[in-house]
């Protein structure tokens, strides 16, 4: 524990480190001699009770003093901080009615200080603790792991990281599952809306790409990735998908009219770019006060706002520039349509009608 504490104390940002070794006060052991105790009628329990009465006294009555009662304790006229030599001469009344000294019936042993033993799941452990100041938790833990990587532990010993770091990792896992569930639900909804897999896959592809914007925004603002910024990622899923739905809803309409892929994307971009830009700007401006950090408690909400701003800015560029490229590439590489309406020319419709009349 001391070696671990010495190593982590050298890591920048680590303050208030403690090796976890707690010493208790020095103890005095009073061990009854079996033959001497049984000869005068003492058992282990009765001897412990008599010795405790001699040291601390015994409450014999109380004096009423409303609203509480004052206990009256009778004890020997001995100092509270007894030494071993004083305890040897302390009188003690045996069950046979005779009075003996404590040293004649028991061995008084002055023991040194002992350390506290802690267990968790029936395994002994020592908690080496520290606080973090002036740095983010993730980079500090990374440096601590590097400092302890070369430490040779005895057989059966291992190092487990807990506290705020363990809670942070658990929160990241839970938020990761929440983000995955949100993406899945949004994808299934778009499949039913567009009646194919191709357009939902193209739209969903912009979600991981928007993480570049989140990373850059957090890096420029010197904000670490934490629980609040993860909440911003969940909110970002809806905003990113919204832009794609606005664009490809218009693309789907032009596709049904038989336009080429290039014409579909150009017409959809010309029609929906204004709506995409305006909705993105309103979302960005709505969280700007949180990103600036105005008001009490703003530090907790600032990572959420910064992550949302960075993700929405990049996702808008991806929606207008890269999504059309992905869509055009998917048209030529593979098909995922479940039910795709195909445009029918007027000549083809006339032939169908004539075949029906015949």
Residue pLDDT, tens place only, 154-197 = 888 888 888 888 888 888 888 888 888 888 888 888 888 878 88
CA distances from 82 to 55, 76, 114 (A): 9, 12, 19
Please give the domain boundaries of the chain with CATH numbers for all domains: 2-22+127-161 (no CATH), 27-111 (3.30.2090.10), 165-346 (1.20.1640.10)
- Residue 120 pairs in a beta bridge with 123
Nearest partner of 204 among 147, 250, 242, judged by Cα: 242
Q: In angstroms, rounded to a whole number, what is the distance separating the alpha carbons of residues 66 and 198?
A: 83
Q: Does the structure show a pLDDT above 50 at 344? A: no
CA distances from 352 to 255, 283, 339, 348, 355 (A): 22, 50, 21, 6, 5
Global pTM reads 0.57
**Spatial separation of the C-alpha atoms in residues 197 and 334, rounded to whole Å:** 11
Q: Which residues contact 184 (CB under 8 A, 6 or more apart)?
A: none
Sign of CA dihedral 154, 142, 123, 112: positive
Q: Tell me, what's the pLDDT at 4?
A: 85
Q: What confidence score (pLDDT) does residue 347 get?
A: 43
On average, the pLDDT of the chain sits at 78
CB distance 57 to 74 below 8 Å: yes
Pair type for strands 91-93 and 99-101: antiparallel
pLDDT band at 82 (very low <50, low <70, confident <90, very high): low
Kindly state the percentage of the chain with pLDDT values over 70.
Answer: 87
Mean pLDDT of 198-223: 83
């Amino acid at each position: 524990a001391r070696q671990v504490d010495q190593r982590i104390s050298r890591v920048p940002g680590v303050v208030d480190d403690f090796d976890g070794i707690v010493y208790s006060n020095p103890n005095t052991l009073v061990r009854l001699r079996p033959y001497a105790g049984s000869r005068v009628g003492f058992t282990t329990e009765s001897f412990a009770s008599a010795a405790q009465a001699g040291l601390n006294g015994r409450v014999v009555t109380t004096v009423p003093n409303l609203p509480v009662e004052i206990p009256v304790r009778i004890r020997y006229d001995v100092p509270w901080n007894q030494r071993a030599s004083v305890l040897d001469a302390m009188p003690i009344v045996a069950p046979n009615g005779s009075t003996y000294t404590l040293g004649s019936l028991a061995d008084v042993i002055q023991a040194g200080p002992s350390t506290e033993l802690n267990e968790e799941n029936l395994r002994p452990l020592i908690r080496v603790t520290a606080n973090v100041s002036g740095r983010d938790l993730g980079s500090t833990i990374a440096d601590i792991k590097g400092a302890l990587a070369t430490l040779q532990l005895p057989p059966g010993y291992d190092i487990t990281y807990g506290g705020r770091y363990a809670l942070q990792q658990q929160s990241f896992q839970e938020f990761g599952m929440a983000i995955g569930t949100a993406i899945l639900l949004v994808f299934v909804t778009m499949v039913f809306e567009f009646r194919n897999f191709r357009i939902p896959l193209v739209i969903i592809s912009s979600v991981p790409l928007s993480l570049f914007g989140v990373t850059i925004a957090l890096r420029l603002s010197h904000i670490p990735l934490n629980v609040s910024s993860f909440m911003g990622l969940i909110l970002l899923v809806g905003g990113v998908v919204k832009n794609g739905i606005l664009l490809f809803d218009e693309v789907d309409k032009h596709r049904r009219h038989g336009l080429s892929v290039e014409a579909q994307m150009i017409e959809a971009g010309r029609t929906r770019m204004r709506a995409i830009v305006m909705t993105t700007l309103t979302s960005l401006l709505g969280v700007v006060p949180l990103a600036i950090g105005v008001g009490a408690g703003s530090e907790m909400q600032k990572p959420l706002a910064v992550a949302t701003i960075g993700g929405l800015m990049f996702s808008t560029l991806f929606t207008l520039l890269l999504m059309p490229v992905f869509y055009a590439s998917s048209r030529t590489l593979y098909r995922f349509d479940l039910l795709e309406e195909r445009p029918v020319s007027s000549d083809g419709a006339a032939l169908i009608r004539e075949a029906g009349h015949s």
